[in-house]
Structure 1
Amino acid sequence: MTSSRERTRPAAGLESMPSGFTRRNLIGGALAGVAIATAASAGPAGALAPMRASGAKSMANVPFEAVDTVKIGLIGLGNRGMGMLGSWVAVPGAEVVAVCDIRADRATRAADRVAAAGKTRPREYGGADTSFQKMLDTEELDLVYIATPWEFHYPQGKAALRAGAHVGVELPIATELDELWDLVDTSEQTRKHLWLMENCSYGRNELAMLKMAHDGVFGDITSGHGGYLHDLRALLFNDGYYTDDWRRIWHTKSVASFYPMHGLAPIAAAMDINRGDRFTTLSATTTAPRGLADYRERFVPRDHRSWKEEYVNGDLVTCMINTAKGRTIRAEHNVSQPRPYSRINTLEGSRGLFEDYAGSDATGARIYVEPLHSGDTWRGASALRTEYDHWLWKDLEGPASGGGHGGMDYVLQWRIVQLMRTGQVPDIDVYDSAAWCAPVPLSVMSIEKNGRPVEVPDFTRGEWKKLRLGLDSVRTTMPAVA
């Protein structure tokens, strides 16, 4: 992974708040923060956005063109792609019309599964590293879903945009700043949306926390803490789980925060990042790389190919992110050491805080807010989660129960199809996706500078100053299937 080139743009003027904005309590008083945001955009970070291509326009607040049936093509049918297939088939108004994998037998198995569910058998593409392009050139697709190894996300995502489809990409959408910018630019030029398939943003606790924050439960939000802490050692050394060892190989390539987005994205949404605030600087630190080598020493036979590898990525990579409104976010990544799973999911403000993965009640979260609570004792978050339960979970709890990751996969997929069928604005856009994935290359840059801060580009080119809805959406229904 290499550091990306610097880019420049002229300073953007202050944007106005859109009419009809009905959020009752914007986090931290977004309107009061406009003066701070204006000053921040005039600093070095404001010089990191390229000029928009001639004729291109922002994709912020641009709705999908409504379609009766969302025709979907899948690229990548390993563990994640195959795991998402069932919900794509189950969502009303979605039709999987094409499936693709470099291994043709996987495409056949996927097509078999669709047919076994009583749906029209999708067309198969596979057997070559160009098969995805053949699918894009042949099919008329409304949505392309990409679940390949990380290094393929950028070229396949760009190709899908250029083929005239909207694109959902598994994490991350790209691993370099130049690639992130190119996806933003290509989306603006093709007038098609590309977004991160950030399922954890649709977690029940995450969405309830978002609604609490936007209703002022925590007062003025000052800080957040999220990340991806998941002991993947057994899977990383499990032959065949990650095809061609792709995910373990990344740990031999670079020192970086590869995958912090699951915890970072919900915190960013609660802070209205790109919707009244934005990331400005990032500094990263890393521990020594000990976990994978230690696991290999104890559990992997000496004749295994992994013994030819040297692991360089630190076990725990921590990113400290500052925002234009003076907030801080700590985003962590650790998949190399023994520990219980956690996305952390902590948000704190002037009147209290929410902490996930720490409580003992049914939601796995704890909370403390004034004036509701007093004394020196944490409270379970169940009652407030019920009060602030997002409409998506109220409506979809039953169908979601069969989806992956506790139902959040189905909620994400259902919502994407619903937005496309009803012609609404996406909850997550290309600018959110680029900002949430930027810590991957930016952490490399900061660590190379011994943890010194690096500027975070303004992928919105000034649009972040506009207050607009995102994941905190208004209830709408799914159209009936003809």
Structure 2
Amino acid sequence: MDKQFNRRDFLTTGAALAGSLMLPKAFAATRQKVRLGMIGTGMRGQVLLQELLRRDDVEVAALCDIEPVMLGRALKQVEKFNKPKPKTYGEDRDTQAYKRMLDAGGLDGVIIATPWEWHAPMAIAAMQAKIAVGCEVVAGITLQDHWDVLNTQLKSRTPYMLLENVCFRRDVMAVLQMVRAGVFGELVHLQGGYQHDLRAVKFNSGDPAKPYGGGVEYGAKGWSEAHWRTEHSVQRNGELYPSHGIGPCAMYTNINRGNRFTRINAFATKARGLHDYVVKQGGANHPSAKTTFKLGDVVTTTLACENGETILLQHDTSLPRPYSLGFRVQGTDGLWMDVNHSIHIEGKSKPHQWDDFQVWQDKYEHPLWKKYAKTAEGAGHGGMDFFVIHAFVEALKAEAPMPIDIYDAVTWSAITPLSEQSIAQNFQTLDFPDFTAGQWKSRKPIFAFDDRY
């Protein structure tokens, strides 16, 4: 009944909003400066805060975190940049302190960089307060969360952007230019994922000065992400972090803008990596060695698209491996793979041989990188964090559509609960919800990310 109600509610509000999601012809800033708050000033929050503080068109007016150590570090960042001290919330460790920040008013937008389970309720509260949301890359935990976030945005018409930084990676954006230029021909198959050894993120010693590794504590005894993120590996089995991989793939295939996901299934391996890590680092008698982890070491998710493409995602965070997002873009004329930084284009490359991608990247360098590469130097994740914050701030100033909007946010993020459902149902293939209620047929691509962003 809840799902049916949400869909009816969505249909009545969606049509009225459809026109406002088109990129306007005029893109001039209506505001020269925006007042932003930040909920969550932990390790990720501090990286994003630095990008806000670097900007003259942003006033960081409020900070909220229930961990005094992290809030103190954030204030030191503000002081380092010689910016006015923002009002702070959460020193009393009240988990509802963010509501007081929102109720105080005076904010144009808020950045949410908290543990995943808080993203949906915080975003909903902000949108209800008419405060624009830039949310880190999990929109919700359950499928119902995603409908609730979507419906709140459609009712309130408050801007919402998923802060997926990989969409702004230099090679990813060059490939976008190539896709738009038809270099790969007609797209057929794509791959991506989150393949990142996170064992030293999920466990540490509990020392605030050493957030990564150094022990095998988690939960109440852990610090930073080990305090909350590891529990998701204990309780859940699915594609827990899809947006890094699916974001660029969705851009390339125009998901929600002339294309859509239609079907999804997921498979999970056995879970061995985290337990083995605990035993090797802390010994078989350590309390953490008694934990049973539900998350499969490698989770493989497959998506079918309306226009005939398939997309494969892999979540691989519990085993020893170098970092890779495993991108592959393959069409009728060739393919690109980021693992070997290589490309093969029929008629351009020698038969059955790879070419180095750098020549092609230079040729198809995206206008954003041409314009802002120097400015982005020193920003987090190789400059990507500058670009994702820049996109949010510029769209907010201009009152323009967010380049990664509410439909993108819930579609990409809903892969997680759907993959969990598929695995729990013996790897069943499921229908993928159409969050746009058919509007994907008429919505136009805005993923050009031209130099206005």
Give TM-score, length-normalised by structure 1.
0.85
Counterpart of 1:87 in structure 2 is 51
SS at the partner of 1:252? Answer: helix
> What's the RMSD between the two structures over aligned residues?
2.0
Q: Deviations over 1:242-293 (max 9, x none)?
A: 3562111111112111012101110110010111100011010000000001
Q: 1-side partners of 2:322 and 2:270: how far apart?
A: 20
Q: Check 1:394–1:341 CA distance in 2 against 1; reply closer, same or farther (3 A cut).
A: same
For the residue of structure 2 that corresponds to 1:251, the secondary structure is: helix
State the match for 2:217 in structure 1.
Answer: none
The match for 1:123 among 78, 83, 87 is 87
Q: Which amino acid aligns with 1:195?
A: M
Q: 1:52 — aligned with what?
A: 10
Tell me how far 1:431 sits from its aligned partner. 0.4
- Quote how far apart the aligned CAs of 1:193 are: 1.8
Report how far residue 106 of structure 1 moved.
2.5
- Among candidates 124, 137, 145, match of residue 158 of structure 1: 124
User: Does the CA contact (< 8 Å) of 1:153 and 1:173 recur in 2?
Assistant: yes
Matches within 5 A, 1:180-329: 180-240=146-206, 241=211, 242-243=224-225, 245-301=227-283, 304-329=286-311
CA contact (8 A) 1:112 1:121 kept: no
Structure 2 CA distance for partners of 1:227 and 1:372, relative to 1, 3 Å: same
Q: Does the CA contact (< 8 Å) of 2:304 and 2:311 recur in 1?
A: yes
Deviation at 1:469, TM superposition (A): 3.1
Q: Give structure 2 stretches of 5+ with no counterpart.
A: 212-223
Equivalent residue of 2:82, what SS?
A: coil
8 Å CA contact 1:104–1:125 kept in 2: the answer is: no
In structure 2, the partner of 1:106 is 70
* Pick aligned residue for 1:416 from 379, 384, 392: 392
CA distance in 2: counterparts of 1:290 and 1:302, whole angstroms: 14
Query: Gaps spanning 5+ residues in structure 1: where?
Result: 10-47, 359-364, 478-482
Q: How far does the alpha carbon of each residue in 1:66-114 deviate from its partner, in whole angstroms, 9 at most, with x for none?
A: 3221211100111100121111111231111100001234323312321
2:54 is equivalent to residue 78 of structure 1: no
Task: Say if 1:256 and 1:391 are closer, same or farther in 2 by CA, change over 3 A.
Answer: same
> For the Cα contact (< 8 Å) 2:3–2:144, is it kept in 1?
no
More helix by share: 2
Aligned-partner Cα distance in 2 for 1:124–1:200: 30
Query: Which residue in 1 is equivalent to 2:432?
Result: 456
Contact 2:11 2:437 (8 Å CA) reproduced: no
Aligned CA distance change for structure 1 residues 329 and 380 (closer, same or farther; 3 Å): same
Contact 2:275 2:291 in 1 (8 A): no
| Matched letter for residue 341 of structure 1 | Y
**TM-score with structure 2 length normalisation?**
0.90
Separation (CA, whole Å) in 2 of partners of 1:200 and 1:243: 20
- Aligned residues with identical type, % of pairs: 35
* Deviant stretches of 4+, over 3 Å: 5-9, 48-51, 53-57, 62-66, 301-305
Aligned to 1:439: 415
Q: Please, which of 309, 322, 337 is the counterpart of residue 319 of structure 2?
A: 337
CA shift in 2, pair 1:6/1:456, >3 Å: farther
Q: Give the CA deviation at 1:424.
A: 2.5
- Number of residues of Structure 1 aligned to a counterpart in Structure 2: 429
CA contact (8 A) 1:239 1:245 kept: no
Specify the code of the residue in structure 1 equivalent to 2:67: R
Structure 1 contact 227–331 (Cα < 8 Å) conserved: yes
Question: 1 CA distance for matches of 2:449 and 2:197?
Answer: 33
